[in-house]
Structure 1
Amino acid sequence: MTRTIDLPNLSSLYRRAALGALKSKLSSNGSLRGLTVEPVVARHPGISEQQVEDYRRLFAGEAFDGAHRGALPSVLIHIAAFPVQMGLMSSKDFPLPLLGMVHLANTVEHHQPVMPNTSLQILVKAQNFRAHRKGTQVDITVDVYPQGVDVDSADQSELLWSGVSTYLGIGTFVAGKPEGEQSRRGQGGFTPPRKTAQWNLGAGAGRDYAAVSGDYNPIHVSNLAAKALGQRGMIAHGMYSAARMLEGREPESAGHRWSIEFEAPVALPGTVNFAVEDISDGTQRFTGWNARKNRRHFTGELILP
């Protein structure tokens, strides 16, 4: 059963979380076997021309090609869907605490072009709860359809955009062993590729992204809040890195896939070395890293149709 909700307000959700209204419902040795979280769907009125222009000013620089000529870039669709994700993750039957969730990875299939001011229906589910050495991982899946589609019986051909965001709820554990391949993120064995660009991020990079996305997560906009949540200071938003990574590289006609995996956080202010590698026809690999510490911030991939 899918529950219809109004498009949530991110600021209100963060305020509620900060006041402790959203708490984990699992003990440290609890079990998630058999747990189900009711999917939610919400209508989005469409991304405005002004928000598209604000996004361009933040990310495009001199690159006004690719998806930015007319159709929306992938990350802007993620931005539209993110409040619905947060609405599900703040629901009473979602067992992990909202604040302090660590963003581990994203995979996206951008099936069809989406134009500004297009009304959307956004379906969000929580799936694949699993053990991690630091807590519990979960996949938040998002399917974006045109307005008017019955999301419970929609055909694959009606799907505009789909994505999976993987999160880690630190300190909330499930019974059983963690996945075997889990190693300490951002540690050891990293040989940097040839640098093709350098990103110089100011202390306000998190606030700049928040102004475009509406996502004022405290760890990205306040040093004090970031420290209270276990960081050494403000860090860049993961989707900021994804947007920079993809800028000017997405096809106008869509049909592409991309992914990003996050490792060491990007401290603000900070410098990120960036590399683009053509690994096969139509496939590019991206890497961002801290040259001084030889620590990888993220790896990504773009597969063109």
Structure 2
Amino acid sequence: MERSNITFVVEFILLGFSDLPNLRSFLFGIILLIYISIVIGNGLLIVITNTNPALQTPMYYFLGNFSFLEICYTSVTLPRLLRDIWTQKGNIPFSFCALQIFTFYSIGIAECLLLVAMAYDRYVAICKPLYYPLIMNHKKCVQLVIISWITPIPAQIGLTYQIFSLNFCGPNKLNHIFCDASPLLEAACEDTYQKEVLVHLSALCFIMIPFLLISISYVKIITTILKLPSTSGKSKAFSTCSSHLIVIFVFFGTTSIVYLRPKSSQSAKSDKLFAIFYAIVTPVLNPIIYSLRNKDVIIALRKLLLKPCHS
């Protein structure tokens, strides 16, 4: 009888930037500009890695797929965030919230695994150059990409089900810019300890293990580079890896702070700040990092952009 009087939540309200009403137009303009930049920047990388003959290598094949994931990653959250800022209504149906968190986590983990594949590619290229064409053949590259895409799906179906099997009967306001585990667990009206453990275990498996694998690869890569006799060989090897390392530290650094730190040190403001960084800022930086620090990409971009002028 007591349970029948409880009203269960059918939608959530994302508070987002509702505490900054005077900055609504400014925030909308900035986020829209960033989203357009992400789509254009990563879209150009996809085009040049698929059409330029000089970039038909495993490294750029992975980069093209990573750029595609970046567009999908931001498209899960930013269009709805823009809609919420514009309409000043952050309501999101229960089922849409579940779909957003599942898709966002699945794509984010796919990016982690793809970064592992990219690190493995650099390891083989630098540490085992004679075997590189044999090991990193097209079939192996396609398999690594498919594994990166598919692996997160079963685990995230389970995690999403566990989070949304909680009872949400109290305030339905989430102090965040999109549906995420932390504000959802806070909104639940039952003990969430087991679900918090699951979220942390998932983060350990899909954030820390990939990061450790990448770190091991780069320890071996750097050791091999330092043994190279020529200075030009060292600088060339470092330049091909440095952009990848920057992306890795930025992406894994922000996500690990959010999903691996204890609940006692979490706050809604800091969660939103880090979310802005790994969900908005990092994806717009990636194409800039890869293009500015890569001569092959710069040359391919020039050819692509100057082609209409020559024609």
TM range (shorter): under 0.3
TM-score (norm: length of structure 2): 0.26
TM-score (norm: length of structure 1): 0.27
Quick check: which one's strand share is greater?
A: 1
Structure label with greater radius of gyration? 2
Quick check: which one's helix share is greater?
A: 2
Higher relative contact order (CA 8 A, sep 6+): 2
